[in-house]
Structure 1
Amino acid sequence: MRVLVTGAAGFIGSKLSEVLLARGDEVLGFDNLNAYYDPRLKQARLDRLLPHANFRFMRGALEDSIALGEAFASFQPQRVVNLAAQAGVRYSLENPRSYVDSNVVGFLNVLEACRHGDVEHLVYASSSSVYGANRKLPFSVDDNVDHPVSMYAATKKANELMAHTYSHLFGVPTTGLRFFTVYGPWGRPDMALFLFTRKILAGEPIDIFNHGRHSRDFTYVDDIVEGVVRTLDNAPAPDAAITPSAGTSNAPYRVYNIGNDQPVELLRYVEVLEQCLGRKAERRLLPMQPGDVPDTWADVDALRRDVGYSPSTPVEVGVARFVAWYREYHRV
């Protein structure tokens, strides 16, 4: 297939592109390589893809409808995976407008391009953040998600609503995937595992919010990408027999959780990292941060049932692989 991957220089997008290329697909990567975190890491991910004969790259932002339109017109993708977004819960408290530009205006441009380009299936990144103040565990796609606690979460909820509108009005098949705390080699420097590793190796204290009483459904990147590919290959179809719910519709629209289905307490996560590094962390226990939630846990039964999704990487294995990559990449 011809697959357009937005955010192809990102953590998940680069790994997804690698897997799609390995199975014989043609991939057009689209990314603006912005400076939200070190662009050198993004370029290093991209450099691993550029030598492949079936990979092309275009630099541009989602909110630039002209650049995005040129990408669609020149490549004529059959399927699209939209992973480009302004990420980060905490940054959304400081710079909310960037989230509207990328995640709302940019996503509208993607939907319009898919509509006019007769794209067979759009898979897009939503987030576990949409569950907001929900205290019922595990999180189910049938749960109410009308109480986001960050602007980032609000834009991801908006994406789901916008996608349904295009599926309903124009028949664009769309699937939203609510990612749960993805980690692994080539990960984002603003994520806890990257921050903790750097500080522990430097002998600096690490900040542990909510006094370590968080639990997270940490999901290894390979498991995430396997689920994305399976989803991409299974486009939803309209079905008048379906009784619509929060995650389903009569339209060609679906929303799924994609996580490990095995929540781990943050303090245990830190213990595993300490073991892999061979060093103890100096822990600075702090209260809950604004915009954060105490626990996440993905109910992935629907994704298992519909596409055969089966996450299999425990944190002990995933963190060890990250540490090995980190030491090699940073020559530590």
Structure 2
Amino acid sequence: MKFLVTGAAGFIGFHVCKRLLAAGHQVIGLDNLNDYYDVSLKQARIDLLTPHTAFQFEKIDLADRQSIATFFAEGNFERVIHLAAQAGVRYSLENPHAYADANLAGHLNILEGCRHNQVKHLLYASSSSVYGLNRKLPFSVNDAVDHPVSLYAATKKANELMSHSYAHLYGIPVTGLRFFTVYGPWGRPDMALFKFTKAILEDKAIDVYNHGKMRRDFTYIDDIVEAIFRLQDIVPKPNPEWTVESGSPAESSAPYRVYNIGNSSSVALMDYISALEKALGKTARKNMLPMQAGDVLETSADTHDLYNTIGFKPQMSVEEGVKHFVDWYRAFYHQ
């Protein structure tokens, strides 16, 4: 099939493109290559994809309405995996308008492209951050998600709402993917594992928020990609029996579904750091700092719906996954 993957130069998008190409699909990758983090890392990812004859790269900004409309009209995409977004919780405190442009206007442009060009299935990146102030663990797609604690999270919740409205109005099958703290080779420099690794190797202290008293459902990139790959074949269908009063928020009378994609186990931040210290063979110097605005204490994914749908459950251990990242980092940066 012919796929459009947005955010193809990004961490998850790059790995998804590789998986689709390996399966024999045609992939058009879109990215604006912005400088939110090191552009040379993004370019290195694209450089690994371009030798594939079934891969084509287009540099377009999601917020450019006319360019996206033309791109879709000429593309004849059968399926769209929309992973491009302005990422990062803390950066949303500094530059909120970047999130409105990429995550709201950009998402709308993708929905419009799908609407006018008979796309058969749209999968898009949501986030575990939509659970916000929820305290019941593990986080379930059956729970309401009405209290985000960052603008980034609010834009991801908005993406789910916008997608539902298009599924309802125009019958576009849409699948939302709530990712839980993704890590692994080719990861983003703004994420903890990358920053910690760089600092430890340079003999600098790492910043540990809430004095280390945090837990995350760390999910390895290969597990994320496998779930996406299987879900792209599961096209949502309307459920005429569904009602708001008795149905799950993750389903609808429209062709709409939402899934958690997480490891289903919450790991203490200090254990994550210990796994990194072991992989590096070095002990980190730690700046113990208070909780950051927009952060949450703990995340944990209920993935029963995911397993029941695709028969797959993420399973990479943190110790093994962190070692894979460190091996990649040392090779890529010659350290």
Give the alignment's TM-score, normalised by structure 2: 0.98
The answer on 1:182 being equivalent to 2:182 is yes
- Select which of 241, 249, 267 maps to 2:270: 267
Structure 1, gaps ≥5 residues long: none
- Aligned residue for 1:155, secondary structure, equals helix
Cα-to-partner distance string for 1:7-46 (whole Å, 9 max, x where unaligned): 0000000000000000000000000000000000000000
The answer on 1:27 being equivalent to 2:30 is no
1:55, distance to aligned residue in structure 2 (A):
0.3
Residue 231 of structure 1 corresponds to 231
- Aligned residue for 2:290, secondary structure, equals coil
- Cα distance in structure 2, aligned partners of 1:330 and 1:125: 29
Residue 66 of structure 1 corresponds to 66
1:143, distance to aligned residue in structure 2 (A):
1.2
Residue 290 of structure 2 corresponds to 287
Cα-to-partner distance string for 1:66-100 (whole Å, 9 max, x where unaligned): 22123222221000000000000000001111101
Residue 324 of structure 1 corresponds to 327
- Cα distance in structure 2, aligned partners of 1:275 and 1:66: 50
Stretch moving more, 317-326 or 305-314: 305-314
Matched to 2:301, the amino acid is A
Structure 2, gaps ≥5 residues long: none
> Given that residues 208 and 284 in structure 1 are in contact (C-alpha distance below 8 angstroms), is that contact kept between their aligned partners in structure 2?
yes
Matched to 2:125, the amino acid is A
Q: Which runs of 4+ in 1 moved over 4 A?
A: none
- Cα distance in structure 1, aligned partners of 2:85 and 2:205: 30
Matches for 1:116-127 after TM superposition, within 5 Å: 116-127=116-127
Q: Identical aligned pairs, as a percentage? A: 59
Give RMSD over aligned pairs. 0.7
Matches for 1:46-57 after TM superposition, within 5 Å: 46-57=46-57
Residue 110 of structure 1 corresponds to 110
- Aligned residue for 2:44, secondary structure, equals helix
Matches for 1:182-261 after TM superposition, within 5 Å: 182-243=182-243, 244-261=247-264
Give the alignment's TM-score, normalised by structure 1: 0.99
- Aligned residue for 2:125, secondary structure, equals strand
- Cα distance in structure 1, aligned partners of 2:306 and 2:168: 22
Say how many residue pairs are matched.
Answer: 332
Matched to 2:169, the amino acid is L
> Given that residues 303 and 313 in structure 2 are in contact (C-alpha distance below 8 angstroms), is that contact kept between their aligned partners in structure 1?
no
> Given that residues 58 and 71 in structure 1 are in contact (C-alpha distance below 8 angstroms), is that contact kept between their aligned partners in structure 2?
no
Matched to 1:170, the amino acid is Y
> Given that residues 140 and 299 in structure 1 are in contact (C-alpha distance below 8 angstroms), is that contact kept between their aligned partners in structure 2?
yes
> Given that residues 142 and 250 in structure 2 are in contact (C-alpha distance below 8 angstroms), is that contact kept between their aligned partners in structure 1?
yes
- Aligned residue for 2:27, secondary structure, equals strand
- Cα distance in structure 2, aligned partners of 1:277 and 1:311: 24
- Cα distance in structure 2, aligned partners of 1:108 and 1:325: 36
Matched to 1:171, the amino acid is G
Cα-to-partner distance string for 1:210-234 (whole Å, 9 max, x where unaligned): 1111100000000000001111110
- Aligned residue for 1:15, secondary structure, equals helix
The answer on 1:301 being equivalent to 2:304 is yes
1:190, distance to aligned residue in structure 2 (A):
0.2
